[in-house]
Amino acid sequence: MAQKAATKTEILNNIAEATGFNRKQVASVLDALSAEINKGVSRGGPGQFTIPGLCKIVVQDKPATEATTRPNPFKPGEMMDVSAKPARRVVKVRPLKNLKDMVA
């Protein structure tokens, strides 16, 4: 059976234990990190934020698409309608080498 993911409380407690800071200090550091990420990915910012050694958060602007008719991949010979999509901003999180090595 797979282990459950750690909760926010467990994460805060584990970091506090490992660093010697109290829980409120760890929570304030994570809030500050969240604010920095917000600055990096919000409109007017550079559109990316890197957490050194872990991941790179990048915002991509996807253009609007028009409604079209395409072949249905599940029913050969039939056509299906594909609805239009508005322009949107998409967040991509790309792992860096250290994070990839943690999984291996």
Domain that holds residue 18: 1-46
With the C-alpha atoms ordered 21, 24, 30, 32, is the resulting torsion angle positive or negative? negative
Cross-strand bridge partners of residue 91: 59
Low-confidence ranges of the chain (pLDDT < 70): 1
Q: Are 69 and 98 in the same domain?
A: yes
Are residues 55 and 32 both part of a single domain? no
The domain total for the chain is 2
Compute CA 68 distance to the chain's CA centroid, rounded to the nearest angstrom. 30
Tell me if 25 sits within 8 A of 15, measured CB to CB.
no
pTM comes to 0.79
pLDDT at 2: 77
Can you tell me the distance from the alpha carbon of 89 to that of 92, in angstroms, rounded to the nearest whole number? 10
